[in-house]
């Protein structure tokens, strides 16, 4: 497989012909330049063609290929061999050069052709629309060219306006032999399928035979003849810039919906009608069953054949400017064929008149009345004869046709009005749809916004609570450490106090009895009581001491009055003070670490919780987003489908409108012609008939 350079790559390479060409006469040759002073390409589907003039002054068309053509070398050799044996002015001399052009370090083949001084078919037709003789001449030469090809066993493969050039003497040149069939290539497939506006809808790439040009030949011939017959058809059927002549692909694939076929099929010129009807009939036929082009013989045999001379009836409405109308004045219709019976009837009249006058003078009124009656009867019968005359009938027919055309115009205009309404409705419903889609989308967006916001709010709430918990943690930790220290100290004091016995204290007034009593109450050391409560005795007016035990209970100890109890209490307080002096100043590290690590764990737990909250929010949001996107895509799918349907409807609508306009124009032309024809019957009147009956003129 060869990858060919692009058109622009060739333009770049051809900026230096000394480098890019190998052929001696092309080396350094002058390439025609464009407005930007770069080589000027003429591009087709498969190649870009450049005009190159050698030092000797010979102008060539250098065809540089941009796409692979299967078996190109073989094909061109076969075509070249075959063409060398065939005569024909249509031929363009060429040479297939394997080492043609150097692009980016690689050689590619080119086709070196003689430059054809000619005008492309479309442009030529535009220049000759009103030159009937030239058009008819070209149609004839085209038919001859097609016959020559057939005789030589050749098919061009892509007959179309771009490949037909008209030289200044009006002769035709055929270019682009890429897709050409010659007998030596039999059995191959077609290299290309030809221009879509010139092919039978049934052509396929297996159709590579001597007769593949038939459909396109008919299409081109039909176009030339039709424009020759009626230049208005060019403006009517050929859209400026269209890549076709009068008929295009859509007409072949859907003739029923075609806006162009009816205009041609109903055309006033019979040659056009017949040709088009033939082509219309070929649409369903397999490619192999198409008849060869058979040129028509023109009705008026002048030198090159012209159609019935025609001239417009002045003044023309603007839309008629191009229409060809009969040129000679409409011949007046006359009564002809005064036979003896008519003469006899006519002769009765003077007799009746004379008779009636005489009767009126001579006879009584009643008899005279008979004469008048006779006269009336005569008028009645001659009028009946007038009505039955073929001239009068022809006149009525003409007027009826005019009425019919009026009705048709009315009908088409009504259809057009309906179409216009439909078009408006289409636009309106499309606008409505667009609006409702907007609403739908806005709704989705709003829902999405709300859902996302709800997720955010909830996550925020949880995060805030985590944050506050984390914030409280410092104080809590300090509290716990303090507490631990306090506990530690209390225990130290307790233990110390437990080692100081009351019995050993030797307190004044606290004999063995009292010590025993204390022991009885469970108080042996300074640790065994916490203090003394004094309860005032209401009768005795003195205070009774109650010892507070570490358990929180209070006891009375026999033998203790307030004085002794308070002495013991003071002693205890002193012991406690001594114990406090040796209490620990801080928490030991081990204990501190245990507490700290418990708190570190709690912080980690909170961190994890925070991550979880965040992740869960993100996950929820991802789900919401996913659904939102899916919903948007679903809407988009619907919108796209609906847009495509609308576009399709609009295309159909536009086509129907064009068709109506075409019909209106055709009907108007017919109407104008018919109206003109009716003027011929201005002379067909009853008084004229009477004159004719009497005088024969």
Partner 1 sequence: MAYSAEISRTNPTAFVFLVDQSASMNDPIGGEIPQRKADVVADAINRLLTELSVKCAKEEGVRDYFHVAVVGYGQSVGSAFSGDLEGRDLVPLSQVADNPARVEERPKKVPDGAGGLVETTTRFPVWMEPVANGGTPMVRALQYAETLVAKWLADHPGCFPPIVLNLTDGESTDGDPSTAAVDVQTHASADGATLLFNLHVSASEATPVTFPESDEDLPDAYARTLFGMSSTLPPDMRSYASQQGFEISDVTRGFVYNADIASVVQFLDIGTRATDLR
Ligand X SMILES: Nc1ncnc2c1ncn2[C@@H]1O[C@H](COP(=O)(O)OP(=O)(O)OP(=O)(O)O)[C@@H](O)[C@H]1O
Which residues contribute to the site for partner 1 (CB under 8 A)?
A: 1, 3, 6-8, 10-12, 15-16, 19, 22, 34-38, 40-43, 45, 48, 67-68, 102, 104-105, 107, 120, 123, 195-197, 239-243, 249, 629, 632-633, 636, 639-640, 643-644, 646-648, 650-651, 654
Which entry of partner 1, ligand X, none binds 412, CB below 5 to 8 A by partner kind?
none
Which entry of partner 1, ligand X, none binds 68, CB below 5 to 8 A by partner kind?
partner 1
Which entry of ligand X, partner 1, none binds 253, CB below 5 to 8 A by partner kind?
none
Tell me which of 22, 42, 375, 430 binds ligand X, using CB under 6 A. 42
H/E segment holding residue 640:
helix 589-679
Rounded to the nearest angstrom, the gap between the alpha carbon of residue 428 and the centroid of all alpha carbons in its chain is 19
Helix, strand or coil for residue 267? coil
Please name which of 285, 187, 267, 202 lies closest in space to residue 231, comparing C-alpha atoms: 267
Say if residues 322 and 232 touch (Cβ distance below 8 Å). Answer: yes
Task: Output phi, psi for 2, to 5 deg.
Answer: -100, 130
Question: What does the angle CA 567 – CA 571 – CA 576 come to, to the nearest 5 degrees?
Answer: 145
Residue closer to partner 1, measured from CB, 243 or 596 = 243
Residue 120, Ramachandran bin (φ over 0: left; ψ between -120 and 50: alpha; else beta): beta
d(CA 683, CA 673): 18
Residue closer to ligand X, measured from CB, 61 or 405 = 61
Binding to ligand X by residue 110, rule CB under 6 A?
no
Binding mask 178-217 for ligand X (x = CB under 6 A): x---------------------------------------
Which entry of partner 1, ligand X, none binds 35, CB below 5 to 8 A by partner kind?
partner 1
Question: What does the angle CA 59 – CA 62 – CA 66 come to, to the nearest 5 degrees?
Answer: 165
Binding to ligand X by residue 7, rule CB under 6 A?
no
Please state the closest distance from residue 623 (CB atom) to ligand X, in A. Answer: 54
DSSP state of 4: P
Binding to ligand X by residue 518, rule CB under 6 A?
no
Residue closer to ligand X, measured from CB, 159 or 224 = 159
Considering CB under 6 A, how many residues would be counted as binding ligand X?
19
Please state the closest distance from residue 81 (CB atom) to ligand X, in A. Answer: 19
Q: Which stretch binds ligand X (CB under 6 A): 158-166, 210-218, 228-236, 454-462?
A: 158-166
Say if residues 138 and 172 touch (Cβ distance below 8 Å). Answer: yes
Please state the closest distance from residue 324 (CB atom) to partner 1, in A. Answer: 26
Tell me which of 162, 255, 305, 662 binds ligand X, using CB under 6 A. 162
Residue closer to ligand X, measured from CB, 173 or 267 = 173
Torsion of the alpha carbons at 141, 146, 148 and 149, rounded to the nearest 10 = 150
Task: Output phi, psi for 336, to 5 deg.
Answer: -130, 160
Q: Is 457 exposed, middle or buried (0-12, 13-18, 19+ CB in 10 A)?
A: exposed
Please state the closest distance from residue 115 (CB atom) to ligand X, in A. Answer: 5
* Residues in a beta bridge with 59: 53
Helix locations, 242-339, DSSP H: 249-253, 261-265, 270-282
Which entry of ligand X, partner 1, none binds 314, CB below 5 to 8 A by partner kind?
none
Structure-block tokens of residue 559? 């033998």
First to last CA, the chain: 87
Which entry of partner 1, ligand X, none binds 481, CB below 5 to 8 A by partner kind?
none
Q: Which stretch binds ligand X (CB under 6 A): 146-154, 156-164, 484-492, 579-587?
A: 156-164
d(CA 534, CA 519): 20
- Residues at the contact surface with ligand X, assessed by CB under 6 A: 42, 44-47, 49, 61, 63, 92, 113, 115-116, 120, 158, 162-163, 175-176, 178
């Amino acid at each position: 497989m060869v990858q060919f350079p692009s058109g622009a790559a060739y333009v770049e390479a051809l900026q230096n012909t000394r480098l890019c060409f190998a052929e001696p006469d092309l080396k350094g040759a002058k390439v025609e330049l464009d407005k930007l002073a770069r080589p000027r390409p003429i591009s087709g589907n498969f190649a870009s063609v450049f005009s190159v003039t050698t030092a000797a002054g010979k102008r060539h068309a250098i065809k540089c290929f941009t796409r692979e053509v299967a078996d190109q070398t073989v094909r061109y050799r076969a075509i070249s061999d075959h063409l060398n044996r065939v005569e024909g002015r249509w031929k363009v001399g060429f040479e297939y050069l394997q080492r043609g052009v150097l692009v980016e370090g690689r050689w590619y083949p080119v086709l070196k052709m003689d430059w054809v001084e000619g005008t492309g078919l479309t442009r030529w037709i535009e220049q000759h629309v009103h030159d009937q003789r030239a058009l008819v001449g070209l149609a004839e030469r085209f038919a001859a060219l097609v016959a020559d090809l057939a005789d030589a066993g050749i098919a061009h493969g892509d007959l179309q306006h771009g490949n037909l050039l008209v030289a200044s003497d009006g002769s035709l040149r055929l270019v682009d032999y890429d897709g050409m069939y010659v007998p030596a290539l039999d059995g191959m497939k077609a290299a290309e399928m030809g221009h879509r506006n010139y092919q039978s809808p049934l052509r396929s790439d297996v159709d590579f035979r001597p007769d593949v040009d038939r459909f396109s030949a008919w299409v081109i011939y039909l176009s030339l003849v039709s424009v020759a017959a009626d230049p208005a058809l060019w403006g009517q059927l050929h859209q400026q810039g269209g890549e076709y002549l009068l008929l295009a692909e859509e007409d072949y694939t859907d003739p029923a919906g075609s806006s162009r076929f009816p205009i041609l099929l109903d055309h006033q010129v019979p040659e056009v009608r017949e040709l088009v009807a033939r082509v219309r009939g070929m649409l369903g036929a397999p490619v192999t069953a198409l008849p060869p082009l058979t040129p028509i013989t023109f009705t008026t045999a002048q030198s090159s054949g012209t159609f019935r001379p025609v001239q417009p009836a002045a003044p023309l409405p603007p839309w008629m400017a191009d229409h060809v109308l009969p040129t000679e004045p409409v011949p007046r219709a006359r009564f002809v064929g005064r036979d003896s019976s008519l003469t006899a009837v006519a002769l009765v009249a003077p007799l009746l008149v004379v008779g009636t006058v005489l009767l009126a003078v001579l006879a009584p009124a009643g008899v005279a009345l008979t004469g008048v009656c006779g006269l009336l009867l005569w008028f009645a019968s001659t009028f009946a004869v007038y009505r039955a005359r073929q001239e009068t009938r022809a006149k009525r027919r003409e007027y009826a046709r005019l009425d019919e055309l009026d009705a048709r115009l009315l009908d088409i205009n009504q259809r057009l009005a309906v179409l216009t309404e439909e078009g408006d409705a289409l636009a309106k419903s499309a606008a409505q749809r667009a609006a409702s889609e907007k609403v739908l989308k806005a709704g989705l967006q709003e829902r999405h916004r709300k859902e996302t916001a709800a997720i955010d709010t909830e996550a925020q709430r949880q995060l805030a609570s985590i944050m506050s918990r984390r914030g409280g943690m410092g104080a809590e930790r300090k509290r716990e450490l303090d507490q631990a220290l306090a506990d530690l100290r209390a225990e130290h004091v307790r233990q110390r106090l437990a080692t100081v016995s009351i019995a050993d204290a030797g307190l004044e007034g606290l004999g063995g009895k009292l010590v025993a009593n204390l022991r009885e109450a469970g108080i042996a050391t300074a640790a065994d009581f916490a203090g003394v409560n004094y309860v005032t005795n209401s009768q005795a007016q003195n205070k009774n001491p109650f010892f507070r035990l570490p358990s929180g209970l209070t006891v009375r100890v026999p033998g203790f009055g307030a004085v002794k109890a308070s002495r013991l209490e003071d002693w205890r307080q002193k012991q406690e003070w001594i114990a406090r002096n040796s209490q620990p100043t801080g928490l030991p590290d081990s204990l501190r670490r245990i507490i700290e690590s418990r708190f570190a764990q709690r912080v980690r737990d909170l961190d994890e919780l925070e991550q979880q909250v965040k992740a869960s929010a993100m996950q929820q949001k991802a789900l919401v987003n996913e659904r939102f996107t899916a919903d948007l895509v679903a809407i988009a799918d619907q919108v796209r489908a609906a847009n495509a349907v609308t576009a399709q409807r609009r295309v159909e609508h536009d086509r129907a409108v064009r068709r109506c306009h075409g019909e209106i124009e055709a009907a108007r032309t017919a109407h104008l012609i018919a109206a003109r024809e009716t003027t011929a019957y201005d002379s067909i009147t009853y008084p004229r008939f009477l004159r004719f009956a009497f005088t024969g003129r």
